[in-house]
Amino acid sequence: MATGKNSVIKSLPREKLVRGYRVERMPIGRYLQALRLLQEAPEEWLREILPERDGMPVLSALKEMDVSQLQKVFLNAAAVLPEKAVSLFAEVSGIEEEKLLSDPDIGLDGLLELMKAFWEVNGLENFLRGAAEVGRKIRQWTRTAGSKG
């Protein structure tokens, strides 16, 4: 009989069907690819949101803007960020971005259902909880090891 962490892993579904789309467990390689995309995303998104900053640091560019320029930034963000979020989700979920954007059976509520299913099937809550625990132990270990030196 499985107990503890093994029972959690075995209880996770390998896939879920949501609005006609199969949401499957993600291989580690795709997870690492998603992390790379997330790492690169903020700068790419900022280039699209603040296209006229000419290499200026974001905070400096924002400080120099008047109200109409700031409104344009917010409009750009409203247009760019949801599209980028869908693109990133398509990348990690394996569901074609075009289908996510154009299938009327998905819609906004369906997109959230797909994201929730992806979260559940991949055990992301368990992973994040475990990663936080590992991080705490590493910090604790480095403090202890550093005080012995």
pLDDT (tens digit per residue) in 22-78: 999 988 888 788 778 777 777 777 777 776 666 667 667 777 777 787 778 878 887
pTM score, two decimals? 0.66
d(CA 116, CA 126): 14
What pLDDT is recorded for position 103? Answer: 96
**Are 42 and 81 within 8 A, CB to CB?**
no
Tokens of 140: 């604790």
Task: Using the predicted structure, report yes or no on whether residue 109 has a pLDDT greater than 50.
Answer: yes
d(CA 43, CA 49): 10
State the chain's mean pLDDT as an integer.
81
Residue closest to 14 by CA, chosen among 92, 120, 110 = 120
What pLDDT is recorded for position 1? Answer: 44
What pLDDT is recorded for position 59? Answer: 66
Please name every residue paired with 15 in a beta bridge, in sequence order, or none if there are none.
24
pLDDT digits (tens, 9 = 90+) for 12-24: 678 999 999 999 9
Residue closest to 18 by CA, chosen among 91, 109, 82 = 109
**Are 33 and 103 within 8 A, CB to CB?**
no
What pLDDT is recorded for position 2? Answer: 44
